[in-house]
Amino acid sequence: MYPGTFMTRPRRSHITSSPVLSMKRRSGRVFLHALAVVVAASTPSASAARDLFDEVYARVQQQEARLRTLHARFTETTDSTLLKDPIVATGTLVAEWPTRIRLEYAVPERRTILVDERRLVMITPGRRERFDRDIGTAQKRVRKYFLDKNPEELRRAFAITATRDPRLQDAYRLVMLPQRKQIREGLTELHLWLDAGTLFIRRMMMIFPDGDRRTFDLQDVRINEPVAPGVFDVPAP
C-alpha cells in the first residue's frame, strides 16, 4: 500500500507451496497504504519545531488539492528468506483518489488486483483463481494510523526521518519505524522515496518481521489523465 495489523499476510508455509500467489496477496494493500501515507500529508502540520518531514507534508498539501488520478508502470521485487532468488513482477497501475486502485500484472504471470474503500479482488486467469475479501475494517485502520494524522501525531506512532537521498537523484527518503506493538507485529520498516519536484512516490520498500522485504518502483507516472470507462469495475465471478 501495509503497516501493522491491517495487512493480512499469508503463512510462510504458503510461500513454499506457491510463492508468487501467496506473496502477491498483499500487493493491492501494499500500494493502497503506501499511497495513503502520501495522501495523508494533506493534513496541516501542528508541530512547533518544523523539520524536513514537516516541509514535505506542507508541499504535498499543495499538490494533493489538484490530484485526481494517477497512471504509472511499476516493478515489484519480493525478497524472501525462503526463496533463492527475488521474485520480480512488472505491470501497470491506475489510481483514482481517494481509494480506487487497479494493478495489472503482466510478468511473471497475468493478474488483476482491484481495490476500493471496502473490497479487494484478485483475479489470476491462468490459474482460474479469484480472491475476494472485505477490507472495510482494514481501511478504517489505515485512516486511524495514517489519514487522520498530522506529522506530530504520526511521530507518536512512528520514529520518522526525512532526508535527501544522494543515491536517488532529486528524491526525498522517508523512513518510518513503528513504535506501537500492534503495528510492529506486521511491519518492521516502511521506506518511501518521493520525487523532490512532484512529491509522487518513486519507490517504496517494506520490511516485515520475518525478514522478507518488498520493493516497488514506479515509472512513467502521469497525473490527472482520464480513466477509461470500466477500469475499476469488478468482473462477475
Contact 132, 29 (CB under 8 A): no
Tens place of pLDDT for every residue, the chain, 237 residues? 333 222 334 334 333 334 333 444 444 444 445 444 444 433 333 333 468 888 887 787 777 777 899 999 999 999 998 999 999 999 999 999 878 999 999 999 999 999 998 899 999 999 999 999 998 887 777 766 665 567 787 888 899 999 998 888 889 999 999 998 888 988 999 999 999 888 888 999 999 999 999 999 999 999 999 999 999 998 887
Note the pLDDT of residue 117. Answer: 87
CA 208 – CA 154 distance, rounded (Å)? 20
The structure's pTM equals 0.76
Question: Cis peptide before 151, with omega less than 30 degrees from 0?
Answer: no
Q: SS3 of 199, please?
A: coil
* Domains of the chain, each with CATH number or no CATH: 4-222 (2.50.20.10)
- Do 175 and 37 form a contact (C-beta atoms < 8 A)? no
